[in-house]
Structure 1
C-alpha cells in the first residue's frame, strides 16, 4: 500500500506541490478575514494555511530547480512555466501579509528569501524556456513566462515591502511625509449610510490614531499646521459616536499592520493592481495559442487552472482596491486636484464603491461587519 503514494509522489511531485500552493493561496484569499475575529478553530486553520503557503512554495521552487538540474528534458518545459506562479503565490493575497505582528519585524528575512527564490525561478526559466527554441510556439511560451516572472517578482517584492511598512518604525517615519486624509469637502454621498459616514470620518482622523500607536505626539506638528487636531477635530466628530469611531480606526489599524494596505493604496500600488490582471490575461491568451503537443493533459489542465485562478484573484484584488475606503483616503490626500474632482466630486468613485459593496453583499453578506472592532488586535 505504501508503494502507491510513493510512486505517485515520484512521478507527480511538482504537480502536487503546485496545486497545493495554489489551493493554499485560495484559502488565504477567501478566508483571510477570519483573522479579525476570535473564532478559535477557523483562525487555527487560517494560521496553518499561512504557515504552509510559504513553505510549500519555497520547497516547490527548490524542488523544481533541483529537478531541472538533474533532468533537463524538453517535456519539463511546461512545468518550468509554473515557476513564476510560485513567486506570485509567495507574494500572497492583498488581505493578509502577516499573521502575527512579529512577522513584520522579519521583513529582512523575507527579503533574503525573495532573492533566493527569484534566482531559483530565473534558473528554471533559463534552463528550460529561455533558449530552448521551439519556433513560434516556443516564443509565445517564452513571452508568457517572462511576463509572469516579472509580475511574480513585483508582487513578491511588494509583500516584502508591505511587511517593512507595517513596522512601528516605518509608521513613525511615514507620519512625517504622508499628509492626513482630511476630507474637507462634504458631499451628500458621505451620508449614504451611517457606516459610510463613520468610516470616512475615521479615515480623516486616522493619523491621530497612528500618532498614538507609535507613541508619538500630534503636538510635534507646526503651530500653524492645518493638520493639528484642534483645527478640525471638532468639525469631524460632530454627529459621531466616539466608540464607533474608535472601533473603525482599530479596524483600519488592523489593515495597516496585517495586510498590504500601506503599499496597495499608493500610486504604485494601484498601478500594479491595474497591470496585474492585464498581464495574467495576456499570458493566458499566449498560452492558449501555444501548441500543446508533447505535453500531458494533466500539465496543460494545471496550467489553465493556475492562469484562470490568477486572473480571478488579480481582478478581484483590483476591484477591492479601487472600491476600498482606503481609496477614498488616497483621493482625499492626493496632490492632484483634478483626480479628486473627477473621482469624488462627480461621484464616479462612489458609484464604483456601491457596485462592489453590492457584489460583496451577494457573496459574503454584511459588507461592514469586518469594519467593527472584534475586541482583539494582536
Structure 2
C-alpha cells in the first residue's frame, strides 16, 4: 500500500517532471507582473516558489533523460529535452528575482553549456528518425532562448551596466514629432487624471530621458546637453512628475529583472520569430508523422508541450513588438524604410493599442507602469527601546543565529506614501538648480547644507560620511519631534486647542524613517 507512490514515480518520473516544468513556466508568465505593484503575500510566495523550482526542475529532468535508458514504448521522451532548454530560457518578463541573480550570470553560463551538451546527447542517443527534424528545430530555439536569458542576466548586472555606459557617448533623448504638440503641463495632468493619449506621451518622454535614470542608478556621471534637454519637464506639476518617475522606475525594472535589454535588438526580434516558426513547424511535422507504437500518454504530453511552446512564443513575440521599448528601437534604427513604414503611417501605434488591450485581459499579468506607492520604515529609537525579557521569537532567532535578519524584518514596515510627502519632495527638488539635480557628485556634496544654512553651529552634525549623517539626523529628528509633542501637550493643557501642521510632521517622520530603512 505504501509503495504505490514509488512505483508511480519510477514509471512516470520524466512525464511528471516535464509537465511540472511546463506548469512552472505558465505560472511565471501569469504572475511575474505582480512584482511591479503591491500584491497578496500568497501570490508573491507562489511566484517565488515557481522561480526557484523552474530551473532546478528542468535541470533535474534533463539529467534524468541523460542518465536513463529509454524503453521502446517511450521513445518520444527524448523529444522533450529541447523543450526543457526552452523552459530554462524562461519568460521574457522575468529573468532575475533579485539583483544577486544577475551577479551569478557566469554560473548560468556554465550551466547553459552543461545542459546544452546533455540535451544534445539525449537527442543523439534516443531520438527517432521520424521526429529528428522537429527535435533539431526546437533544440536550436531552446539554445537561443537559454543563451539570451544568460545574456540578459549579464546585462542586468550593475557592474556590466556601468561598464557599458562608460563606452557610450552621452545619450540624447529622442523626440517623437507626432506627439510633440501634446502639452502635459495643463488640464487633466495637473489633477493627475491622465487620458490614454497623455499617458502614452508621458511614457515616451520617460523613455527619452531614461539614460539619466540609468546612469544615476549605477553611479555613473550624467551629462545633459542643454540643447537637447526636454524643457517641458520643468513645467509639470507634482502629480505628473511623480507619474513620470514611476515610469522611469518601471523602465529600470525592465533592465534589471526582465529581458528588455536584449529583446529590443535585431537579434532579439529574430530569435522570437525563429522560435515561433520552429514551434509551428514542429507541431505540424509531428501532427502528420506516424505515431504507431508510441504511448498514448507520451503523445498527449508531446502535443501539450508543442502547443504550450507555440502560445508562449506567440506571447513573447507579441509582447516584444507591442512594448514601448520597440518605439525607441524603431527611432534608432538605420533602416529608414522600416521607420517610415512602422511610424509614419501609424501602424505600430495601432498594433501596440491592440496588444495592450489583449494584455489587460490577463489581470494577473498587469504590466501597467505603476509601482506599489509604498516605502519602507525603520525607527532606530523604537528598535533600541524594545523589550528583551521573556521568551519570544526574537530569542529563538538569536539562538539560531538569525538575529540580524529578524531585526531587519520584524522591526521594519511599509507605509503608503502620502500625497503631502510627494508634493513636499517635488517642491524641494524644484527649488534646486539643474546642476544639483542632474549631477550625482553635487547632490552628495551639498546634502544637508541647505537645511543648516542659518545654523552654522550645527554644521558638524552633517557627519563625514553620508551614513553617519543619516544616523545623526534621524536621531535628532526623533528627539526634536518628541520635545515638540511635549510642548504641544503643555500648551494644550494651558490654552486649550493648539494649531498644528499634522501632515507636515507625519511627512518628516516618514522621510526620516525611510532614510534609516535604506541605511
TM-score, L = length of structure 2 = 0.66
Provide the residue aligned with 2:6 in structure 1. 6
Provide the residue aligned with 1:346 in structure 2. 345
Provide the residue aligned with 1:196 in structure 2. 200
8 Å CA contact retained: 1:190, 1:200: no
Provide the residue aligned with 2:126 in structure 1. 128
Provide the residue aligned with 2:48 in structure 1. 47
CA distance in structure 2 between the partners assigned to 1:342 and 1:146 by the alignment: 35
Range that drifts further, 116-125 or 185-194: 185-194
Change (3 A) 1:205 1:189: closer
Provide the residue aligned with 2:114 in structure 1. 116
* Cα shift at 1:339: 2.1
* Cα shift at 1:235: 4.2
- Compute the RMSD of aligned alpha carbons: 2.2
Provide the residue aligned with 1:259 in structure 2. 258
Alignment of 1:194-233 (within 5 A): 194-219=198-223, 228=225, 231-233=228-230
8 Å CA contact retained: 1:321, 1:327: yes
Provide the residue aligned with 1:358 in structure 2. 357
Provide the residue aligned with 2:497 in structure 1. none
* Cα shift at 1:41: 2.2
Alignment of 1:1-378 (within 5 A): 1-39=1-39, 40-67=41-68, 71-129=69-127, 138-139=129-130, 141-175=131-165, 176-177=167-168, 180=171, 182-188=173-179, 193-219=197-223, 228=225, 231-235=228-232, 238-239=235-236, 241-364=240-363, 370-375=368-373
* Cα shift at 1:44: 1.2
CA distance in structure 2 between the partners assigned to 1:165 and 1:63 by the alignment: 32
* Cα shift at 1:30: 1.0
8 Å CA contact retained: 1:218, 1:228: no
8 Å CA contact retained: 1:180, 1:206: no
8 Å CA contact retained: 1:190, 1:197: no
CA distance in structure 1 between the partners assigned to 2:374 and 2:85 by the alignment: 32
Q: Deviations over 1:105-159 (max 9, x none)?
A: 0000001111111111111001012xx5xxxxx24x1000000000000100000
Please identify the structure whose Cα radius of gyration is greater: 2
8 Å CA contact retained: 1:37, 1:376: no
Change (3 A) 1:88 1:189: farther
Change (3 A) 1:376 1:26: farther
* Cα shift at 1:376: 6.8
CA distance in structure 1 between the partners assigned to 2:362 and 2:242 by the alignment: 29
2:93 match: secondary structure = coil
Change (3 A) 1:272 1:366: closer
Change (3 A) 1:375 1:116: farther
Change (3 A) 1:365 1:16: closer
8 Å CA contact retained: 2:135, 2:282: yes
Change (3 A) 1:238 1:325: farther
Q: Which runs of 5+ in 1 are unaligned?
A: 133-137, 220-226
* Cα shift at 1:36: 1.9
CA distance in structure 1 between the partners assigned to 2:146 and 2:37 by the alignment: 27
Change (3 A) 1:16 1:202: same
Q: Which runs of 5+ in 2 are unaligned?
A: 183-195, 376-517
* Cα shift at 1:365: 8.8
1:293 match: secondary structure = coil
Range that drifts further, 53-62 or 355-364: 355-364
Range that drifts further, 263-272 or 185-194: 185-194
8 Å CA contact retained: 2:179, 2:201: no
Change (3 A) 1:76 1:104: same
Range that drifts further, 181-190 or 49-58: 181-190
Provide the residue aligned with 1:224 in structure 2. none
Specify which structure has the bigger relative contact order, considering alpha-carbon pairs within 8 angstroms and separated by 6 or more residues: 1
8 Å CA contact retained: 1:35, 1:46: no
Change (3 A) 1:29 1:316: same
* Cα shift at 1:45: 1.0
